[in-house]
Homo-oligomer: A and B are copies of this chain.
Amino acid sequence: MSKVDLKMMAAQLGFSVSTVSKALRDSHEIGESTKQKILAKAKELGYKPNPYASYMRHQKSKTIGLIVPEINNSYFLQVINGAESIAREKDYHLLIYITHEDVEHEKSIIEHLQNGRVDGIIMSVTLNTKSYDYLERCISNEVPIVFYDRVCHEIETVKIVTDDFASAFSATEHLIQNGCKNIGYLSLSDNLSIGIKRLHGYKEALNKHDLQIDESKIIHCIGTDSAFDFNYKAIKELLVSHPEIDGIFGSIERFALITYQVCKELKKRIPEDIKVLCFSNLQTANYLSPSLTTIHQPAFEMGVTAATTLFKHLDKKRSMLVNDNIVIKSTLIIRESSTQRKEH
Listed in ascending order, the chain A residues whose CB lies under 8 Å from chain B are: 1-5, 46, 48-53, 55-56, 61, 63, 71-72, 77-78, 80-81, 84, 88, 93-98, 105, 111-112, 114-117, 137, 140-142, 257, 260-261, 264, 269, 282-284, 287-291, 344
- Asked whether A3 lies within 8 Å of B72 as measured between CB atoms, the reply is no
Give CA–CA (A1, B114) in the complex, Å: 12
Partner of A257, one of B46, B72, B94, B287: B287
**Cβ contacts under 8 Å, A288 to chain B:** 284, 287-289
- Asked whether A98 lies within 8 Å of B117 as measured between CB atoms, the reply is no
Give CA–CA (A56, B51) in the complex, Å: 10
**Cβ contacts under 8 Å, A289 to chain B:** 287-291, 344
3 closest residue pairs by CB, A with B:
A289-B289, A52-B55, A48-B115
**Cβ contacts under 8 Å, A56 to chain B:** 52-53, 56
- Asked whether A344 lies within 8 Å of B269 as measured between CB atoms, the reply is yes
- Asked whether B257 lies within 8 Å of A51 as measured between CB atoms, the reply is no
- Asked whether B269 lies within 8 Å of A284 as measured between CB atoms, the reply is no
Q: How close is A247's CB to chain B, nearest CB, in angstroms?
A: 19
- Asked whether A71 lies within 8 Å of B61 as measured between CB atoms, the reply is no
Beyond A2-B141, A94-B97, 8 additional contacts (C-beta under 8 Å) are A1-B137, A3-B114, A80-B96, A84-B96, A96-B96, A282-B284, A287-B289, A289-B290
- Asked whether A78 lies within 8 Å of B84 as measured between CB atoms, the reply is no
- Asked whether B51 lies within 8 Å of A116 as measured between CB atoms, the reply is yes
**Cβ contacts under 8 Å, A257 to chain B:** 284, 287
A to B CB contacts below 8 Å, 7 in the list: A1-B141, A51-B52, A52-B117, A72-B283, A93-B95, A282-B284, A287-B289
**Cβ contacts under 8 Å, A94 to chain B:** 95-97
